[in-house]
Amino acid sequence: MKRKENKQRAIAFQIIAPILAVAFICIEGFLVYKYPQRAVPFIVGGASLFVAIMIILGFLTGGKKTVRGEKKGVVLGNIMYDKINALNEPALICDSGYKIVWANSFTNKAAGVRSVLGNNVTSLFPYQISDEKLVKKNEDIKVTFAGENYLLEETRIDSGNERYYLLVLRNITKQTSLEQFIRDDEKVVAYVIVDNLEELLRFEHERYREIAAKVDGILRGWADSVDGLLKEYEKDKYLFIFNMEDLDKFVASNFDILDKVREIRVGSSSIPVTLSIGVAKISGPMAEKEKMAHVTLDMALQRGGDQAAVRIDDKITFYGGRTNTIKSRTKVRARVIANELVNRMASASNVLIMGHAFPDYDAIGASAGIARLAMFCGVKANIVTNFKEKNVKKCLKHLENDENYKGVFISATKAMDLVKSNTLLVIVDVNNINMFESKDLAKMVNDIIIIDHHRKTAEFEKEPILDYIDPSASSASEIVAEILEQALPVEFLNQTDADMLYAGILLDTKHFTKGAGTKTYSASMYLRDHDASYENIQELFKTSLADYKKESKFGEKVEIYRNCMAIALSTNGQDSQDRIMAAKVADNLLTLEDVSASFALVKIGNTVHISARSNGTINVQLILEALNGGGRYDAAGAQVKDSDITQTLLKLKHAIDNYINLEA
């Protein structure tokens, strides 16, 4: 009885299969006639669907469950089998183990063998059966087979307890070549400016044309080498347009145009001429590329210049940045910023001010100066800080006799309660959100202004309405003093304000022995005119006997690395005062003979703090950027969380090695 039923099912299969085959052929014939441009997809799709139905139907009617050897005609149907076998595209069937159980003649021809049956699919091209998520997303699977590019279309076929995959490859070689041609021919927009030529030649005016012509010649030779368009739109400022494929060449050479221009030296001190470049490789209209290139150039300038900033979609990569910043700031810029800052403050409901975590005198002094400007504008101002910090306690003691500062210093928690829709947040002495006194507060406030002297390390998470980042300034207090000089009436800045700003400048310049320029002395004279003096603030710079002993012990473990870099370690840090102690140790290590850069590492809790200093020949900012740190050319810092001091030391040495290798 069972044998009879099986026989009847087999007969039914033999009757139904040809009927379905004819029906499919008629339907496909109509679709191909109606839409000839989509003939291949219709044939492939129809064949895939027919195969699936035949296997299922064969299983239900007692037919064979496999698609091997002489039974393939039964499974596929003689007519449809001939159709897919004659398809002018590779098509094959493999089992769940990637073993090929059937392939059309085109597959064999493309592979250059008589038959690929029994081989593994991966011997023809890389292939991995896509999971359900990939199938649902309809993501393209691109493979290379026999030197051609194909788009793989996969159909899963379940037969009883066995699973097979029908793989049809659609040739996209011409399409890929066209896409590559379009990509290579797409235009990239860049801005190029000569950072310091005018500043370098202030005292050698007669040589300006000569040096400018040399720089111009190098830049035009660079543009001609890639058949690009270089247009000087203003003195020493260029717009550069070139093909996408040429950007890969520039990146591969690490923008060696920076080195070629740097070889031009000016004056008896042989200071190099430097470039800043902003490149935007983004999709969209040319106007959008031009705008983004300008934004990227600003990023390069805010990091100190002498570098190329390359934006590829949403990621920015930097090349260069190996020379110290030329001090070229003018009071015109300070005047513009001062006017804009006053206007913004006047229209705000209240002003919140904060610096970086573990504030030093520069952050506190700059905050006090901005608070004084807000008071002048008639707006309530508060400085957000951590009252547990030793530096804050010292400053509050110095400010306690000034009635204007009573209640001005508040905690971050209280500051969040004061946030309104038109609150203005001014951030000083820091531009990296990870170093803010309160990241949550920065995310809450809509209008943010940033004033800083550290090189910019990354794009802002929330774009500020105004930013003044000048790495050529010695300190944030110097910048704020310049702004106050332009905005405040002479009588409005009192001695207390001037003292705090003066303390910030003294701290960051090591009492005018490091990084001080003409603008630094000009700002200091302005503060001295308002009765600021070292005698008033000398208590801020005194060290307790306990800290002095700890600092001395810290300096006992010193290693000279790469013959020119001193590294000191401390594993028993307890609070932020130890981080300040590390900064002092880094300063002192620079006084050692033959030491060009110094690093002091101290572990506090689960975080290793690094303070770095340089004599101006090594860019410690670039070194610590590899550890997610930042700062300035000659002074930088980093915080490495969830790491012991040994691991951090190895990371630091690796970053130093990479820097030296690039320099070489």
Tell me the mean pLDDT in the region 457-478: 85
pLDDT at 416 over 50: yes
DSSP run (H or E) holding 122: none
Question: What is the distance between the terminal CA atoms of the chain, rounded to a whole angstrom?
Answer: 88
Q: Is 414 helix (H, G, I), strand (E, B) or coil?
A: helix
Asked if 628 contacts 612 with a C-beta cutoff of 8 angstroms, the reply is no
Among 347-351, 459-463, 581-585, which is the least confidently predicted range? 459-463
Residue 463 — pLDDT band, cuts 50, 70, 90?
confident
DSSP H helices in 238-306: 244-252, 257-262, 286-302
User: Is the model more confident about 140 or about 357?
Assistant: 357
Among 52-61, 278-287, 539-548, 655-664, which is the least confidently predicted range? 52-61
pLDDT for the residue numbered 371: 95
pLDDT at 49 over 70: no
pLDDT for the residue numbered 70: 45
Q: Which CATH class is domain 545-663?
A: alpha beta
Structure tokens, 417: 């309660």
Q: Which CATH class is domain 186-320?
A: alpha beta
Per the DSSP assignment, residues forming a β-bridge with 555 are none
Tell me the mean pLDDT in the region 115-131: 81
The average confidence (pLDDT) of the chain is 82
The domain 2-173 is classified under which CATH number: 3.90.1170.50, 3.40.50.150, 3.30.450.20, 3.30.450.80?
Answer: 3.30.450.20
Most confident of 128-137, 184-193, 220-229: 220-229
Q: Is 645 helix (H, G, I), strand (E, B) or coil?
A: helix
Residue 425 — pLDDT band, cuts 50, 70, 90?
very high
Among 214-228, 348-362, 374-388, 393-407, which is the least confidently predicted range? 393-407
Asked if 329 contacts 470 with a C-beta cutoff of 8 angstroms, the reply is yes
pLDDT for the residue numbered 34: 62
Asked if 369 contacts 484 with a C-beta cutoff of 8 angstroms, the reply is yes
Give the span between the Cα atoms of 239 and 203, in whole angstroms: 28
Per the DSSP assignment, residues forming a β-bridge with 95 are 164
User: Is the model more confident about 14 or about 115?
Assistant: 115
User: Is the model more confident about 547 or about 399?
Assistant: 399
Per the DSSP assignment, residues forming a β-bridge with 142 are 151
180-213 pLDDT per residue, tens: 665 656 789 999 999 877 766 665 677 788 888 9
For residue 214, the 8-state DSSP code is H
pLDDT for the residue numbered 565: 94
In Å, how far are 17, 48, 49, 514 from 29, measured between CA atoms?
Answer: 18, 16, 15, 84
Residue 380 — pLDDT band, cuts 50, 70, 90?
very high
Asked if 504 contacts 532 with a C-beta cutoff of 8 angstroms, the reply is no
Give the span between the Cα atoms of 137 and 370, in whole angstroms: 53
For the chain, the structural domain boundaries read: 2-173, 186-320, 331-541, 545-663
pLDDT for the residue numbered 162: 84
Tell me the mean pLDDT in the region 449-476: 85
Long-range contact set of residues 641-644: C-beta below 8 Å, sequence gap at least 24: 641/606, 641/607, 642/606, 642/607, 643/606, 643/607, 643/608, 644/603, 644/608
Domain 331-541 falls in which CATH fold?
inorganic pyrophosphatase (n-terminal core) (3.90.1640)
Rounded to the nearest angstrom, the gap between the alpha carbon of residue 252 and the centroid of all alpha carbons in its chain is 18
589-605 pLDDT per residue, tens: 998 889 999 999 998 88
Q: How many other C-beta atoms lie within 10 A of the C-beta of residue 410? A: 17
Give the span between the Cα atoms of 165 and 95, in whole angstroms: 6
